[in-house]
Amino acid sequence: MPVDPAFAALLADKRSELRAPPAHVSVDDMRAGNKAYLITAPRTPLHAVDDRVMPGSAGPLNVRIYRPTSVARLPVILFCHGGGFVLGDLDTHDSICHRLAHSSGCAVVAVDYRRAPETRFPGALDDCSAVLRWLGRHAADFDLDAQRLALCGDSAGANLAAATALRARRGGPGVSHLALLYPMLDPACDTESMHAYGRGYLLARSGVQWSWSQYLGAPDDANNPLVALLHADLAGLPTTSVVTAECDPLRDEGEAFAERLRAAGVEVVARRYAGMVHGFAGLPQITPVATHAIDELAGDIRRSLA
């Protein structure tokens, strides 16, 4: 089906397209513009939201802990935000985390990992891995249950979540569910959907290519299985949910990843949302499908952590 008419106004505004920036636009300018729009998304009320500091791979990291209830020892979802490894922060994905905590019944710990190009691969991944390991040892310090852990991320954050889960196969901690929203997995940027939806559907192919160029520090990094996850050994990963959007250049790589997981013996739940564009789950002010998608994903996680 064609793109959902709910996105007509957004797509008509050429300033909204996430493409490679012209030379006069700085990374800070891009971050500010992206943030100004995403922070307008509504928040689902929660019991408590607290900003804390946890140890990262190269120093302290800011995290935000979302608690849906006052129940002790809540299960935990470590959330890695999207933004092409360059944009995004705790505030841009605050709405998604509120809804995810509310609907899953889990605490959500969102990590403010170091971004590119200031920090290139594997810096952001090292930060997410460090926070997961720390939660595995010290979750009780925050009245959280380290025996019930899930990983979740959107777009580039889904890449980081999946790579963190791959690393956790050796030495833990145990991850019971992996939840990926329209994951960014293939630096080649050459799938059918990448060409079909690479212009005019919010996320541009040039923007994806530019994001990879900012994240990768060396040409060989594009072949690293912790970057190009379609080429990783996926055996032993936990039950995984993969959400894709029909009109998203990243659609095909997400769906190929789901097939690769199945071939590796991993239990997979895959959902494609018709008429949706990249990032739709963070836009509940535009489409009710955003809330529906997060609720379905939260249900998958809740069942795995029960």
CATH number of the domain at 205, please. 3.40.50.1820
Q: Give me the pLDDT at residue 225, please.
A: 98
What pLDDT was estimated at residue 270?
Answer: 98
Tell me what pLDDT residue 250 has.
98
Catalytic positions, please?
155, 248, 278
Residue 14's pLDDT band (boundaries 50, 70, 90)?
Answer: confident
pLDDT digits (tens, 9 = 90+) for 267-284: 999 999 999 999 999 999
**Nearest-CA neighbor of 163 among 130, 190, 123, 125?**
125
Question: Residue 263 — very low, low, confident or very high, per pLDDT cuts 50/70/90?
Answer: very high
pLDDT in tens, 97-108: 999 999 999 999
- For residue 84, the enclosing domain spans 5-305
What percent of the chain has pLDDT above 70?
100
What would the mean pLDDT of 173-197 be, rounded to a whole number? 98
**Is the separation of the CB atoms in 177 and 239 below 8 Å?**
yes
**55, β-bridge pairs:** 60
Q: Given this model, what pLDDT does residue 180 score?
A: 99
Indicate if the alpha-carbon torsion angle 103, 167, 157, 146 is positive or negative.
positive
- Predicted pLDDT of residue 1: 77
The pLDDT-based confidence of 87 (bands split at 50, 70, 90) is very high
Backbone angles phi, psi at 265, to 5 degrees: 85, 15
Report which of 275, 202, 212 is spatially closest to residue 3, judged by C-alpha positions.
Answer: 275
Q: What are phi and psi of 54, to 5 degrees?
A: -130, 160
Q: Which DSSP category does 4 fall into?
A: P
Would strands 239-247 and 268-277 be described as parallel, antiparallel, or unpaired?
A: parallel
User: Which stretches within 109-250 are classed as H helix?
Assistant: 123-138, 156-168, 192-196, 205-215
Please write the tens of the pLDDT for every residue from 27-45: 999 999 999 999 999 999 9
φ, ψ dihedrals at 282, nearest 5° = -100, 15
Question: Phi/psi of residue 287, each to 5°?
Answer: -140, 135
- Give the pLDDT band (50/70/90) at residue 17: very high
Q: How many CB atoms lie under 10 A from the CB of residue 219?
A: 7
pTM: 0.98
Residue 144 has a pLDDT of 97
pLDDT higher than 90, residue 156: yes
> How do residues 44-77 score in pLDDT, each as one tens digit?
999 999 999 999 999 999 999 999 999 999 999 9
pLDDT over 80 at 80, yes or no:
yes
What is the distance, to the nearest Å, from the Cα of residue 159 to the centroid of all Cα atoms in its chain? 7
Number of domains in the chain: 1
